[in-house]
Amino acid sequence: KQEVTQIPAALSVPEGENLVLNCSFTDSAIYNLQWFRQDPGKGLTSLLLIQSSQREQTSGRLNASLDKSSGRSTLYIAASQPGDSATYLCAVSGSARQLTFGSGTQLTVLP
Amino acid sequence: NAGVTQTPKFQVLKTGQSMTLQCAQDMNHEYMSWYRQDPGMGLRLIHYSVGAGITDQGEVPNGYNVSRSTTEDFPLRLLSAAPSQTSVYFCASSPTLAKNIQYFGAGTRLSVL
């Protein structure tokens, strides 16, 4: 059974700092990996999707990498802003395409 | 374009009551799914559907029923509510099972007393 772990559970950084969020998964036979953002009391917004054949994806200040062999992904946020404060969730899709989620990293960017 | 719409946003039930959580999408997506989110546990898949008339179980299906009579709607039924079903429920859709960038609704916060 696929298991997804996100460390740390919470992170607080000053504005302007570059930061990395980590995601690890136990079964490397994945179809793709997605990073989501969740604001308090809201649904999830997809940030980046990396297919299993890709190594990274970029969108603006966000860069996500994927290393299938080691079962790891990172989400890099450059020049963090208070508006980046949210919970970030990692999810992997297996051969049946169903998503398995990590429990998330709650990010706070301090002004 | 409304995207994925969930109703109600909040609901309080007594143990043993039944209810239906509604989910509708206007993007003509084939794939729809229901998740529950509990503190510290991430989201867990309850049921999913790859198209009208086709549904299947996810990781935590017990106590829930679904049906998919149209492409747009995917209601989730709680048959006899239990306190363990207190959670936040999210509905999601994606164009196909292969193109699974998923679009989420805003959620239904359910409390079972």
pLDDT digits (tens, 9 = 90+) for B33-87: 999 999 877 899 999 998 999 999 999 999 999 999 999 999 999 999 999 999 9
Q: Is the pLDDT of residue B113 over 90?
A: yes
Answer yes or no: is pLDDT of B1 > 90. no
The first and second tokens of residue A72, run together, are 């790891």
Please state, in angstroms and rounded to a whole number, the distance separating the CA atoms of residues A77 and A54. 19
* pLDDT of the residue at B41: 77
**Rounded Cα–Cα distance for residues A26 and A3 (Å):** 6
By C-alpha distance, the chain B residue nearest A104 is B42
> A64 - beta bridge partners?
A57, A75
Three-class SS of residue A83?
helix
Question: In which residue are the tokens 């990274």 written?
Answer: A56
* Residue B106 Cα, gap to closest chain A Cα (Å): 4
Both structure tokens of A13: 């950084």
Q: What is the per-residue pLDDT for B102?
A: 85
Residues in CB range of A17: below 8 A, 6 or more apart = A80, A109
Q: Is B61 on the interface with A (CB under 8 A)?
A: no
The mean pLDDT value of chain A amounts to: 93
Q: Which two tokens stand for residue B28?
A: 């003509």
By three-state DSSP, how is residue B85 classified?
helix
pLDDT band at B2 (very low <50, low <70, confident <90, very high): confident
Answer whether A99 sits within 8 Å of B102, measured CB to CB.
Answer: yes
Please name the residue ranges forming H helices in chain A.
none
CA distances from A15 to A36, A38, A108, B7, B77 (A): 21, 19, 9, 37, 44
A98 closest CB neighbour out of B42, B58, B98: B58
Question: For residue B112, which of B72, B82, B75 has the smallest C-alpha distance?
Answer: B82
What are the percentages of helix, strand and coil residues in chain A, rounded to 5?
Answer: 5, 60, 40
Backbone angles phi, psi at A5, to 5 degrees: -125, 135
CB of A5 within 8 Å of any CB in chain B?
no
Q: Which of A45, A46, A103 sits opposite B40 (nearest CB)?
A: A103
Number of other CB atoms surrounding residue A41 within 10 Å: 10
Name the more confident of B94 and B74: B74
**Which position has the higher pLDDT, A95 or A69?**
A69
Q: Which residue in chain B has the smallest CA separation from A6?
A: B42
Tell me what pLDDT residue A42 has: 86
Question: In angstroms, what CA-CA distances link B45 with A91, B34, B48?
Answer: 12, 6, 8
Closest approach of B112 to chain A, Cα-based (Å): 19
